[in-house]
Amino acid sequence: MKKERGFEIAKGFENYNVNLPIRKTKGSAGYDIEAVEDTVVPSFKKGMKPTLIKTGIKAYMREDEVLILANRSSNPSKKGLIMANSIGVIDSDYYGNPDNDGHIMFAFYNIKEEDIEIKKGEAIGQGIFQKFLITDDDISTGTRTGGFGSTNK
């Protein structure tokens, strides 16, 4: 069987008992993604950086596809967690990059007054695979050379 899209354990997380993402129902668009370790997301203070929650996974897909990371719908109201970047975009060439092997992380702010603890194995978001289109005059030729936040380098 040819690999077209899916999830794997990222290098360095082989001994973390990582659960690969699954869809819970036939009608679900998103694959539920879990935290790979306990993480505290502190209450927001002006000027602070978002907390990166590790998943221990990476995703492979076709060249013309993207994995969109979305927050769980219950996170803002129940836990006060909002994604710092609204959505995450995992490009096909992020997989296996030399910096972090394509390890996927969620960037959260906590808008509650108290710190929030995320437990290992807790679902933190979802991943949705999608096709994307390019313009007629697209001339992209660059090659990814890094990991998290490296698209424009």
| Total-model pTM | 0.90
Annotation: CATH topology of 7-131: Deoxyuridine 5'-Triphosphate Nucleotidohydrolase; Chain A (2.70.40)
Quick one: pLDDT at residue 96? 94
Burial class (CB in 10 A: 0-12, 13-18, 19+), 57: buried
Q: Are 128 and 65 in contact (CB under 8 A)?
A: no
Q: Please report the pLDDT score of residue 23 as a whole number.
A: 97
pLDDT in tens, 46-84: 999 999 999 999 999 999 999 999 999 999 999 999 999
